[in-house]
Amino acid sequence: MEQQNSFNSQQQSTGFMKQPPEMVSVKDSLYLTDMLAWNLNAVKKAHFFATQCKDPQIIDALNRCGLMHQRHYDTILKHLNPDQNQSQQQYQ
């Protein structure tokens, strides 16, 4: 009980969690799935629209947008699989 109270006071005082919780709720899991889907969809749409454009400035902006969403997607995956990322880095 004391641990829970210190966790709540830590979260309230800083506005964010310093460490992730031990367990991810179903609601959190669904939200993470949605975030991955939104970013992947944005990457695909940016790529598609870049192939449809003729203006080089718009193509460049769409490609940069797609790369940004790809980085966000990759970052989320890294946070979800930290052990896998460490083992991959060892092999490289």
**What pLDDT is recorded for position 22?**
78
pLDDT tens digits, 31-81 = 999 999 999 999 999 999 999 999 999 999 999 999 999 999 999 999 888
| Mean pLDDT value of segment 21-37 | 90
Asked if the model's pLDDT at residue 88 lies above 90, the reply is no
Contact 46, 66 (CB under 8 A): yes
